[in-house]
Structures are given as structure tokens and as C-alpha cells.
A and B are shown apart, each in its own frame.
Chain A
Amino acid sequence: MIWQLDLSVLTLIVVCAFATIMVKDLLSAAIIFGAYSFLMCLLWTEMGAVDVAFTEASVGAGVSTVLFIAAVHQTTRIVKPRKSGRMLSKVIGLAAALLTGLVLIIAEADFPEFASPFSPASLHLSPYYITQTLHDTNVPNIVTSVLADYRGFDTMFETAVIFTAGLAVIAILRRYKRDDRCDLPEPGVVSGGYPDTIIRFIARQLVPFIQLFALYVVAHGHHSPGGGFQGGVILGASFILLAISYDTGMIIGLMSERLNILLGNIGVLIYAGIGFLCLILGANFLDYSMLSKVLPATDKIMARSHGMLGIEIGVAIAVMAIVISIYINIISHGKYDKG
């Protein structure tokens, strides 16, 4: 860790955070937020948390920026000047914020000192993961094994949260009837009036490599940073790239709504299904070591490794489908036509 670098990156992060709130133009705010995410990614890489940095780069800086810009594109760009609210509500808000802060500060005093080597977490938990992961699960990347095995239950519900977010977007934005009334302006034309050969050609050339990289990220998550979430987001982003450079109609031709929802369901079901399979085989929920009874030529340790791979694939499928579905819903006003 180089503290000068840390300090400058942290300063820039704070500046970006304030700029995101203060800027009136929502498009600029979205772009500055992307820059903020990249800086966070830099900071995490600097701290050695490469997996988190990877997630931040693909999710925070990549896809969420695209989703924000799509939403801004479909709604309005400039913040309306809000009339200053009543004084009373402002005072109450300030008091509530200060009170919460105070309570948090008081509660924080009970925590062990930050990064203390004598806190319970670093005394008992971390050494176990660091020394026993390879022996227990045969997975060199400790982050993956903690994420997918030791706390697999948590990760399953993270996937479910993403799935629910996709469902919520569909529930709010999707309109089945063509003649529904809509307060928003008609969808603008995303690309220019004419097909742009350069962009289309390059996008077409790049997409297979991006998808290949995404699959590599999913499959290689055991040995290097990466895993289901990142890989799924990159897969979804490759489809969004196609949707931007061609038009949304083409992407709907490739990934229809039905297929999207089906894939999202299948992804979550793979995860939960592997958990239930363990249950049926007589172990605890998501205890992959029992899978060695089903998988040929594996002992209990390799079974845990394979089980993780299985749920990573499930996560990737679910995340990819949900990302694409959210993008299509936002960009086409839920009408699933060209946008």
C-alpha cells in the first residue's frame, strides 16, 4: 500500500461523491458516478481486494452506469429546481440524521479497534479460512470458497435479491397493451438516423471475445478473481453492447422476454436445486460434500469444488438474464419494441 496513492484516490472519491449529488445535469451525475465507481475499484485493488474490485468495475462502473444513462435518456435530464420545503421538516430531518449518527458512533465504541489483529474475526475466523480452505475445498481462491461455500446461504439470497429486482422492474415498467397511456415522452432514437457501419462492425467483432471472457471469468473463479456475479454481468453487458450498437429489437430477437425470465428462474433454481440435492442426499442445505455420491469420480473435497462451480453457473445465468431484462424494460418503456 502506497499511502500517497491511497490519499489521492480517496480525495478524488469524496470529490466525485459530492459532485454526483451537486450536479444539476443528471447525465453528468451518472457519468461522474461511473468515475466514482472506477476510483473505488482502484482503491480496492490497491487494498488487495481484487474480487471486490472486479465486481465494482463490472457492476458499478459498467452496467449500472449504462442503466442510469438509459433511464436518464428515457426520462428527463435536468433536475427541476425544488421549492425549499418547510422549515419544520428540514429541522426534523437534520435532527433524525444527527441522532442516528450519534447512536451509531456510540455503538461503534463496542466494536474492536479497526483492523485490530486481536478482534475475534481476525483471531479465529480468518486464520481458519486462510489455512483450511485449500484443504477443505480444493479451491485456491479463498474469496470464492467463502462466498459460495462457507456462506453459500447468504449468496443464494443475494442472487434472489437480484432476481427480485428484475421482477420489480418488470412489474413496474412492463406494459402489455400497446395503447396504454403513458406520461413519459415517446422513446427517443438511440442510435443515429442511419446504421453506423463502424460501430456495428466493431461491436460484432468484440462481442464473441467479451462473452468468451465472461465464461472464463465464471469458470476460472476458483483460481483467479471472478465468479458468477462478475461473469454474468459481463455476459449481460455484451448483449447490451449489441442492443446499443444495433437496435433493441435485434436483442429481443436473440433473447426474448420469455427466454429471459425463464433463464432468470433457471439460474436461481440451479442454486437452490443444488442446495436441495445436498439435502436429499442426507447432508445440510448447500453442503456440497455429499454431492460426491452423485458426481462420478470425485471425493468429498472435489465435490465441494464442483458444487461451487455449479452454483456460480446458476448465479451467472440469473444475473445475465436479469441485467438484460432490466435494460430492455428501461430502454423501451416496457413495450419490448425498438427503442
Chain B
Amino acid sequence: MDVVVIILTVSALVFFFATTVGLLRFPDFYSRMHAAGKGDTLSSLLILMALVLYNFHEFNLANLLVALKILLIVVFIFMASPTATHAITDAGYESGVKPWSKNPEEES
């Protein structure tokens, strides 16, 4: 059980790190949102799943309830986070943010 928890947490941290690097290093708004949206959602899910499993060291009703609540948060993040990313990206598109291209001369 502990091994699974550690694997989940470490992979979540790796994804968080990738998200941060992507957020800082990507050239324009859209690719940054791409990094933030996907990486954030996945790593939050992983780390919450790790918490759910960690919670089951002693199996009883109270722990089960806590795990259920964390699972509800997982579902919430799974729905809300991509939608928020979509909303921000859509707002950027609506207000006319230009996507990045390799040769900046082409975009007037």
C-alpha cells in the first residue's frame, strides 16, 4: 500500500514540476494554458488518490467517509479544472490574443 502511495505522490510531483516548467518556459498564452490545465488536473488527481489510499491505513467507517469526501473533491476538480482552463483560453481567443508562430515576421 505504501509503495502505491509513494509512486502516486512522486508521479504527481513530477507532473507538477512539468506544469511549472511549462508555465514558465512556453512561448505564448495558449501553450501555457495547455501546460497548466493538463498538468495541474492530472497531478492534483494523483496526489488526492494518494491521500485516499494513505487514509486506509486503518480501515474503519470514519476513514471510509473521509476517503469518500476526497473522492468527491477529485470528481469536482476533474470537472472544474479543465472547464476553467477552457474558459480562460476561450476568453483569450475572444479578446484576440495571437498564437505564437515560429517566424514572428509573418504575423503582422
Contact = CB atoms under 8 A, between A and B. Distances in A.
Interface of A: 192-193, 196, 198-199, 202-203, 205-206, 209
12 contacts: A192-B91, A193-B94, A196-B87, A199-B83, A199-B86, A199-B87, A202-B79, A202-B80, A203-B83, A205-B79, A206-B79, A206-B80
A227 to B, nearest CB: 18
Contacts of B94: 192-193
A202 B83 contact: yes
Nearest to B93: A192
Interface in B64-108: 76, 79-80, 83, 86-87, 90-91, 94
Interface of B: 76, 79-80, 83, 86-87, 90-91, 94
A193 B90 CA distance: 11
A193 to B, nearest CB: 7
A210 to B, nearest CB: 9
Nearest to B79: A202
A203 B83 CA distance: 9
Contacts of A206: 76, 79-80
Question: 3 tightest CB-CB pairs across the interface, nearest first?
Answer: A202-B83, A192-B94, A199-B87
Contact of A209 (B76, B86, B90): B76
Given A192-B90, A193-B94, 19 more contacts: A192-B91, A192-B94, A196-B87, A196-B90, A198-B83, A198-B86, A199-B83, A199-B86, A199-B87, A199-B90, A202-B79, A202-B80, A202-B83, A203-B83, A205-B79, A206-B76, A206-B79, A206-B80, A209-B76
A307 to B, nearest CB: 28
Contacts of B80: 202, 206
A32 to B, nearest CB: 16
A205 B78 CA distance: 13
Nearest to B83: A202
A17 to B, nearest CB: 23
A206 B87 CA distance: 15
B12 to A, nearest CB: 18
